Amino acid sequence: MNKLHVAFLWHMHQPMYKDPLSGKYILPWVRLHSTKGYNDMLSVLEGFPKIRQTFNLVPSLMTQIQEYAGGEASDTFYELSRKPADELSADERAFILQNFFAANWDTMVLIYPRYRDLLEKRGRRASPDELAERQRAFSVEDIRDLQVWFNLTWFGYAARDKDRELQQFFLKRRGFTETEKLLVLEKQRQLIASLLPRYRAAQESGQIEVSTTPFYHPILPLLCDFMAAREALPDVKLPQEQFKHPEDARQQVSAAVSYYESVFGRKPRGMWPAEGSVSPNAARIIGDAGLQWIATDEEILLNTIQRKRGADIIYAPYRLQLDGVSLDIVFRDKNLSDLIGFSYSKSEPQSAAEDLVGHLRNIYSALGPQSGENLVSIILDGENPWEYYPDGGRLFLSKLYSLLSQRDEFEVTSIGRYLENFPPKMGLKRIYSGSWICHNFNIWIGRQEDNTAWDMLARTRRRLESELKRRADLPPEVREAAWNEIYAAEGSDWFWWYGDDFSSAFDSEFDRLFRSHLMQVHRLLGEDIPAYLTEPIMNRGSARPTEQLTGLVNPILDGLVTHYYEWIAAGSFDVRKSGGAMNISETIVLRLYWGFSLKNLFFRIDTSLNPLSAEMQDVRIAVHVEDTKRHRVNLMLPRAQNEKGKLVIEENINGEDWKEVGIDDRIGVQKIIELGLSFSQLELKPGDRAKFHVAVHKGRLEIERWPRNGYIECVVPGEDFEASMWFV
């Protein structure tokens, strides 16, 4: 009896969340997905020995798993989970209220009465200002329970089944102790530490095959040549800077192969190129690296051969021959993959499983006698869909695997195993350039934000190449580290969030992480950070002030609040109420005030540290003001009470360098920082719309920027300002 072969490939991926400047993990998703999807998806197979599958593990994900397993990785969410609830500051409590409900509410929050009650107490919608006040209503027990529930809800069914203590925690619901909380976090670490050894053991047993992806998950065709984007989108607007670096693509692939071998003790046979993205150049590089097969989307095949969809076309492997390089390719069934990823979570599990099996039976019937060598490839994200299934996908997958195990006409196999037994009979002499999303690269290139990011990457890479040629004495470890930052910045995830296609609560963090990799290149070279890298790509425009400016001010610049009305009419921006994933209490700047007379612009900066303290000696604060020109005002703080500070005014040239254009002594530093600048110094005139932000540096590193992802805007006043009561 002929069998229809069915291959599931589950793609496991998270971007590199480690901040290269601080060494800290910014977001917790590797840690949390490890206790849910990565564990559940492997564990559910234990009851179905006939079901073989392919798991695609991205190297940059595996490195993060290994660091968490070894206790080397820490993230802000973990640190605030671990901290005793009665020692949290008001800002940290507000951060927890804002971020510790970051899960699918329907399936991971509302189904647990205590977790749901904490959400209702917080409010389903709350601004940072409101959270700063509402945290007062939460008892220490409330906050501790929230610390536990945020981490507890991310344990999937496999972990709960095997751990009686976890089961008891879910039943306990409330009143957790600090000891119990730390036990939950330790159970996370232990589970994470078990993951990669278990995947290796499952591969050695033959039940799974593990494939890989270029190391940092880059869109390989775009690294090879931007022009690949124009096959599907001839009119796409490409970045200004040319990017054509197939050598980077080779390094991303070879690094993935080497790392895979270090983890699994063998070389990988297959690869899911990031986002299923392929091109002739990318395919050659993958084949040259010794990979035997790749997978991509069915639309790539249909556009390659210029044929309409048919079962005999889609459900077969192909062998691509390019300039002596041979590479086997399988093509995902778009419909079946998307049903699991986006639709079946809304259906009853038994019905959903039967529906998928029904589709497979129809394919089997359509293929007829030739079905014995055909392959249906079902390829999708292996972690994110399960948050939308009421039980994490457990019943659906169990029913599906049970039905497939019982039916003689199906054999569920891994891609590599299938290709060993059934080498491709059909050949390709070319491959269309595109990805699994609409067979193009529109998500990652062509929009203004995407192109700005590519231009930043290209400029930084060019600078690195130039400096490495010029400075032969740079140590090998510095060279390697700098190149790794370039490769990390080539990852697809940064470009995924740029543009208007997708958005998340953590967009600004992705933006900052991308630019941090490029900043680190300059830091490793011992250079100042170019001005263009300090500007957010996701510039969300004018930030909303905490207090609006309502009139003219003329403060005494002595570093003290001389009298109550001195800054009463000024605008202000409270850092602690501005939101943002990393906005917790360790910031140096607490609040920024601004105001003006008819001739001068004034700023007041309140800091968490005494401006004259020793801790502030290695801190540099700068105010950036721009209209048609961009100026940076460096605050040279005094080192002692009896010293005088000064302002160094610089003008930006060519987007990278700064030229000193003036020095001023109108700065007062004692308990606060106050400074004044004339509009003429900044080349501003009445009616100009000035934009400004404050940056804080340590050495060459920008450690803070306020507003974090935009600017404050004000209009330079004219003689009629007070008469019209104009305000921003």
Band of pLDDT at residue 721, cut at 50, 70 and 90: confident
Residue-wise pLDDT tens digits, 524-549: 999 989 989 988 998 767 788 889 98
Torsion 410-416-420-424 (CA) sign: positive
Residue-wise pLDDT tens digits, 329-338: 999 999 999 9
Q: What pLDDT, on a 0 to 100 scale, did the predictor assign at position 722?
A: 63
Residue-wise pLDDT tens digits, 94-142: 999 999 999 999 999 999 999 999 999 999 988 888 898 999 999 999 9
Is the model's pLDDT at 577 over the cut of 50? yes
Q: What is the mean pLDDT of the chain?
A: 93
- Least confident interval from 280-289, 520-529, 564-573, 674-683: 564-573
Q: What is the largest CA-CA distance in the chain?
A: 94
Share of residues in the chain with pLDDT > 70 (%): 97
Mean pLDDT, rounded, for 21-31: 91
Is the model's pLDDT at 583 over the cut of 60? no
Band of pLDDT at residue 639, cut at 50, 70 and 90: confident
How many other CB atoms sit within 10 Å of the CB of residue 86?
A: 11
Domains and CATH numbers, the chain: 448-530 (1.20.1430), 571-724 (2.60.40.10)
Is the model's pLDDT at 585 over the cut of 70? no
Q: Which residues contact 16 (CB under 8 A, 6 or more apart)?
A: 60, 63, 64, 216, 488, 491, 513
Q: What pLDDT, on a 0 to 100 scale, did the predictor assign at position 728?
A: 41
Q: What pLDDT, on a 0 to 100 scale, did the predictor assign at position 540?
A: 64
CB-based burial label for 550 (10 Å; 0-12, 13-18, 19+): middle
Task: Give dist(CA 384, CA 205) in Å, integer.
Answer: 27
Which candidate, 383, 423, 293, 401, places its Cα nearest to that of 52? 401
Mean pLDDT, rounded, for 684-700: 90
Q: What pLDDT, on a 0 to 100 scale, did the predictor assign at position 727?
A: 42
Per the structure block, which two tokens stand in for 441? 């690269």
Residue-wise pLDDT tens digits, 190-246: 999 999 999 999 999 999 999 999 999 999 999 999 999 999 999 999 999 999 999
Band of pLDDT at residue 60, cut at 50, 70 and 90: very high
Q: What pLDDT, on a 0 to 100 scale, did the predictor assign at position 696?
A: 92
Band of pLDDT at residue 579, cut at 50, 70 and 90: low
Q: What pLDDT, on a 0 to 100 scale, did the predictor assign at position 217?
A: 98
Band of pLDDT at residue 723, cut at 50, 70 and 90: low
Which candidate, 414, 317, 445, places its Cα nearest to that of 374? 317
- Higher-scoring residue by pLDDT: 204, 587: 204
Task: Give dist(CA 168, CA 177) in Å, integer.
Answer: 13
Task: Give dist(CA 390, CA 338) in Å, integer.
Answer: 18
What is the three-class DSSP state of 339?
Answer: helix
Q: What pLDDT, on a 0 to 100 scale, did the predictor assign at position 126?
A: 86
What is the three-class DSSP state of 215?
Answer: coil
| DSSP strand pairing (53-57 vs 208-211) | parallel
Is the model's pLDDT at 726 over the cut of 50? no
Task: Tell me the pTM.
Answer: 0.89
Q: What pLDDT, on a 0 to 100 scale, did the predictor assign at position 403?
A: 98
Per the structure block, which two tokens stand in for 5? 């072969």
Band of pLDDT at residue 580, cut at 50, 70 and 90: low
Task: Determine contact, residues 274/425, Cβ cutoff 8 Å.
Answer: no
Per the structure block, which two tokens stand in for 450? 């995407």
Q: What pLDDT, on a 0 to 100 scale, did the predictor assign at position 709?
A: 77
Q: What pLDDT, on a 0 to 100 scale, did the predictor assign at position 703?
A: 82
